[in-house]
């Protein structure tokens, strides 16, 4: 389970309307250190080979020249003299990825630098290779290649090319890319198809050192109690409690020893005996034994007002293929609208639900409304945005 970070309701100005509020949320979720991390590795292949296609006019010469952008090219062995002629696959494998164990593969991007000085070549088949087999998803594009070298991008950081992937699939020597070209139109000019470089970038999320179940604040008469629970811990040295008056500038007020490694649920508590007056914010930070740290969601509490309205949002998984469930706590009965937005800000789903005081749960399973990609999940009542988080749908 990937731990979820979200923007606390008190950090979003109430006068913002949906469009501007969404832009602010998107900025924080995509670019803030508080957003769950999307990592990537970029590699060039080592092994080059031909793979025949029935009816082709031939393969490629100098195929290993596609290893670097140096104006030394892989070229077809035949000129494809007739309209519709096509080549065999240029098959590139052994990209030597080292994606960390336990990561979730979210997308594959292939960049191909190619050209045809006579403008007579175009894509025929553009596919990835899994376990040594060329896939069925073809991302060939229609336009003819330009006369000078240009990089064409295929795929995206949320595009898995119609496959499901494990880390072992990507790190395997038989993972790779297959490409063929074809002729555009007739005429006496020969094709001058050239490929200078092929690069693959794989995007993934990595399991976090701790799986945080919740982080909560409870206002008392003369103090603020903080509670949190972890499902698992790996190489966890200590937690840091941070406090802020404005929700932006935080100071450390305590360190609490972690369990190092644990596969069972563990609960922690810290009491701030000298809380700030008025509304303040608390944030949890976790630090590994190697010095790497991670920030989690902040929560707000008003020390002058018992029973502050907090939504402690938890989600079963930030990456889902069939459904996900969110849980949150309310101190009042009220209508809550749960919405999904794509990254352009368009609403793709909205549901208004009557919540009750205490524990609430909502399961989203309307996957027929979605395309594979990243979405922003927002909870709001009639007055304000309460919480937001990022989710990835991978079919």
Beta-carbon count within 10 A of 176 CB? 26
Q: Each residue of 279-315: pLDDT tens digit?
A: 889 999 999 887 878 888 788 887 754 333 445 677 7
With a cut of 80, say whether residue 150 has pLDDT above it. yes
With a cut of 90, say whether residue 39 has pLDDT above it. no
Q: How far from the centroid of its chain's Cα atoms is residue 312's Cα?
A: 22
**0.75 cut: is pTM over it?**
no
Q: 272, 274, 293: which is closest to 226 by C-alpha? A: 272
Residues 86 and 56: beta-carbon distance below 8 Å:
yes
CA–CA dist 264, 232 (Å, integer) = 6
Helix (H) or strand (E) holding 23: helix 18-31
Q: Each residue of 244-269: pLDDT tens digit?
A: 888 888 999 999 999 998 889 999 99
Q: What is the three-class DSSP state of 72? A: coil
CA–CA dist 51, 299 (Å, integer) = 57
**Category of 222 on φ-ψ map: left (φ > 0), alpha (ψ -120 to 50) or beta:** alpha
What b/e readout covers 243-253, taking b as 16+ CB neighbours within 10 angstroms? bbeebeebeee
Distances (CA, A) of 134 to 177, 179, 180, 294: 8, 10, 12, 39
Q: Each residue of 197-246: pLDDT tens digit?
A: 999 999 998 767 788 889 998 888 788 999 999 988 888 999 999 998 88
At 31 the pLDDT is: 43
At 26 the pLDDT is: 53
- Mean residue pLDDT of the chain comes to 84
């Amino acid at each position: 389970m990937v731990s979820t970070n979200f923007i606390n309701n008190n950090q979003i100005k109430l006068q913002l309307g949906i469009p501007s509020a969404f832009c602010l949320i998107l900025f924080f979720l995509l670019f803030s250190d508080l957003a769950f991390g999307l990592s990537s590795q970029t590699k060039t292949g080592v092994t080059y080979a031909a793979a025949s296609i029935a009816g082709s006019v031939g393969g490629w010469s100098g195929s290993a020249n596609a290893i670097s952008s140096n104006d030394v090219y892989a070229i077809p062995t035949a000129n494809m003299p007739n309209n519709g002629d096509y080549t065999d696959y240029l098959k590139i494998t052994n990209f030597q990825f080292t994606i960390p164990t336990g990561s979730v593969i979210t997308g594959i991007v292939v960049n191909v630098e190619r050209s045809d000085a006579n403008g007579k070549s175009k894509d025929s088949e553009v596919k990835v290779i899994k376990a040594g087999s060329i896939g069925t998803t073809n991302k060939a594009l229609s336009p003819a290649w330009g006369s000078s070298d240009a990089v064409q991008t295929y795929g995206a950081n949320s595009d898995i090319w119609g496959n499901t992937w494990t880390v072992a699939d990507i790190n395997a020597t038989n993972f790779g890319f297959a490409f063929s070209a074809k002729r555009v139109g007739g005429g006496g000019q020969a094709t001058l198809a050239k490929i200078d470089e092929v690069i693959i970038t794989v995007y993934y999320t990595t399991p976090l050192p701790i799986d945080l179940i919740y982080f909560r604040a409870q206002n008392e008469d003369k103090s603020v109690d903080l509670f949190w629970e972890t499902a698992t811990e790996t190489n966890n040295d200590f937690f840091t409690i941070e406090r802020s008056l404005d929700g932006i500038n935080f100071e450390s007020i305590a360190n609490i020893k972690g369990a190092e490694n644990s596969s069972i649920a563990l609960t922690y508590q810290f009491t701030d005996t000298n809380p700030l007056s008025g509304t303040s914010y608390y944030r949890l930070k976790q630090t590994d034994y190697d010095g790497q740290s991670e920030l989690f969601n902040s929560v707000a509490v008003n020390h002058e007002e018992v029973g502050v309205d907090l939504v402690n949002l938890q989600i079963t998984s930030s990456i889902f293929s069939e459904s996900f469930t969110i849980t949150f706590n309310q101190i009042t009965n009220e209508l809550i609208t749960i919405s999904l937005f794509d990254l352009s800000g368009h609403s793709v789903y909205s549901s208004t639900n009557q919540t009750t005081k205490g524990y609430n749960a909502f399961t989203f399973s309307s996957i027929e409304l979605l395309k594979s990609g990243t979405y922003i999940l927002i909870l709001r009542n009639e007055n304000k945005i309460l919480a937001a988080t990022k989710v990835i749908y991978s079919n």
